Amino acid sequence: MSSRSHARDSSVIPPVKGILRHVKWEHLLAGVSGGAASTLLLHPLDLVKIRFQVNEGTHAVGHHVARPEYRGIVHAIRTIQKTSGFTGLYQGVKPNVLGSASSWGFYFMFYNTLKTFMQDGDSKVDLGARKHTLAASGAGLMTLVLTNPVWVVKTRLCLQYDTNASSIKSEKYYSGMFDALCKIYKHEGVRGWYKGFLPGMFGISHGVIQFVCYEEMKTKYNNFKQRPIDERLNSAEYLAFAALSKILAATVTYPYQVVRSRLQDQHRSYNGISDIIRQVYRYEGLWAFYKGLAPNLLRVTPACCITFLVYENFISLFTHRAKKS
């Protein structure tokens, strides 16, 4: 068959089928496993981070919410454990595990599907930073649409302080993940599930920075070693690249997480993103956009390393089995 007739035949195939044939479910399984493992281990730091993010301090005029005051990470963990027991450190863990596991799973699956589609199935093709950015952006958007309701529920469960439930308005008290989903829908509609979606869109840049840096570091490293760019690395190399890319992405994009957490907080109401930015800057200062950064880095760096290590080892296992068969 001539190349011209081959091109004519290929053009008849709808593009979506071309993408779907590159879907590999092992990336979903590997991502879910890594995300679940890291979240279960490090959830208490995520809980502390969220509570720091929404704390207005003593300068919020007219809308101050009575919240526990923490002097630092260790004091926060000790206070929560003292007032709510060990289980208090795991408030919101179910939606967090569900959200993290599904987010990592979907992200890895979508990202690798788009990446493989761009490579036309040849893993040795170097896409470069621009195409890696496109793949990461597309994967981030699709993942956000699917998982945003879970993140709203996680935030609200994390912000249920040690208060008598009867003193809280019924629509703002949740007995669990399913109850939260139902009450948010009942009182706020579908829009309630998608609070924080717009800053979450900005948060896609977090994944883009992380994955582009991670991919480019792996590629440059293999080039330096004069190996194929799809050469599997050892665990220490994966850990180093995962940690560096995550620290950079988390630090650069952190303010959007503060804005998103405040939008999702059931105890406060703001008139949109611009109102949050204005009030935070006016009453709390520029550094308030980095509240909770320390526990966040303490959590996300090892969490990312665990996730990527589990993920890459799963993929290595699948690759080894595929070669044997």
In this predicted structure, the answer to whether residue 154 has a pLDDT above a threshold of 70 is: yes
Q: Distance of CA 23 to CAs 26, 109, 157, Å? A: 9, 7, 34
Whole-number pLDDT of residue 64: 61
Segments making up each domain of the chain, as ranges: 28-324
Superfamily of domain 28-324, CATH level 4: Mitochondrial carrier domain (1.50.40.10)
Tell me which DSSP letter residue 260 carries. H
H helix runs in 197-285, sequence order:
197-224, 235-253, 255-264, 273-284
Average pLDDT score over residue span 171-193 = 88
Contact partners, residue 49, CB within 8 Å, separation at least 6: 292, 295, 296, 299
CA triple 284-287-288, angle to 5 deg: 45
Intra-chain end-to-end CA distance of the chain, in Å: 30
In this predicted structure, the answer to whether residue 11 has a pLDDT above a threshold of 70 is: no
Q: Per the structure block, which two tokens stand in for 67? A: 């919240």
Q: What is the pLDDT of residues 69-84, one digit of tens each?
A: 888 889 989 998 888 8
Whole-number pLDDT of residue 193: 93
Please, which pLDDT band fits residue 248 given cuts at 50, 70 and 90?
very high
In this predicted structure, which of 60-74, 98-112, 301-315 has the lowest mean pLDDT? 60-74
269: helix, coil or strand? coil
Q: What is the pLDDT of residues 117-129, one digit of tens each?
A: 888 888 888 888 8
